[in-house]
Amino acid sequence: MTFILTAVLVLGVTGLVLGLVLYAVSRKFKVEEDPRVGQITELLPGANCGGCGFPGCAAFAAACVKADSMEGLKCSACKSEVMQQIAAITGHAVEVGVEKIAVVRCNGSCQNRPRPRTYDGAKSCAVAAMMNGGETGCFFGCLGCGDCVKACKFDAIHMDPETGLPVVDQDKCTACGACAKACPRNIIELRNKNKLDRRVYVSCVNQDKGPVAKKACDVACIGCGKCVKACPFEAITLENNLAYIDFEKCRLCRKCVDECPQHSIMAVNFPPKKVVEEQPQVQEPAQPQVQETESNENN
């Protein structure tokens, strides 16, 4: 009996003494941390994606508290409401930026381009791009090994097994830009999200001359410049045999979509065009485009 009592007493007293020491030490060496850092960190998504340019969410929170204004500080993964909440905590005003989304600018699916060779190296776009260009004959197009999928911290981009191309989940994408950075061919671009997620973009980055580009892929931009002429808002530029739609200037009129002979301009999330029966000649070229729009809506 005495053994047990002694053991309990000795251990109890040791524990008490050590506890007191710990308490004293923790009081003595307490690090004063701004409570706001903790509050902001809690608001942030916690994915440490690095889209803001800081090593992680906590570092970003600390930077927010330290900074004199919110200029240049933006969590790319947060919605604007969250940014406003953060601004309320720090006491600075925040600019409401335009929401963006990652857009894959390649439509070189298995149906659209020949597969001239097989690639059996390491499953990585970076390796494929360095070695010999993977399975595509296009020197600019998607390599299909999914480096962007691996880079995404929000599970917002996936490979479509049918097309072999990455598809962005528009609800989950936070436009942190990790996928765009991971892509060795710079296919992925952050573009304005627009109303109802409607977007018009050239789904091709091939800078080859027309015939070469056409040989590599059925839906490659051949740099014919028809879209440039068709655009009433001067939003489209042609450089290095490649058309580019400036998303700041584009008003989503979709005139270029019908004009493109290669069907390389994509219009997503638009309702299907109404078929006008009186003008069969005009309607015919528009028809395949309408179908493409529909199929894109499903993506």
Query: 204 vs 235, which CB is nearer to other proteins?
Result: 204
Binding mask 134-153 for other proteins (x = CB under 8 A): -----x--------------
Query: 89 vs 127, which CB is nearer to other proteins?
Result: 127
d(CA 266, CA 263): 7
- Return the range that interacts with other proteins (CB under 8 A); candidates 66-74, 79-87, 118-126, 215-223: 118-126
d(CA 197, CA 235): 19
Among 8, 67, 130, 282, binds other proteins (CB under 8 A): 130
- Return the range that interacts with other proteins (CB under 8 A); candidates 27-35, 114-122, 189-197, 251-259: 114-122
Q: Is 133 in the site for other proteins (CB under 8 A)?
A: yes
Among 6, 14, 69, 132, binds other proteins (CB under 8 A): 132
Query: 45 vs 137, which CB is nearer to other proteins?
Result: 137
Among 38, 116, 261, 272, binds other proteins (CB under 8 A): 116
Q: Is 56 in the site for other proteins (CB under 8 A)?
A: no
State the amino acid at position 275 in one-letter form: V
Q: Is 122 in the site for other proteins (CB under 8 A)?
A: yes
What's the min distance (Å) between Cβ of 148 and other proteins?
14
What's the min distance (Å) between Cβ of 126 and other proteins?
6
What's the min distance (Å) between Cβ of 164 and other proteins?
19
Query: 14 vs 240, which CB is nearer to other proteins?
Result: 240
What's the min distance (Å) between Cβ of 187 and other proteins?
18
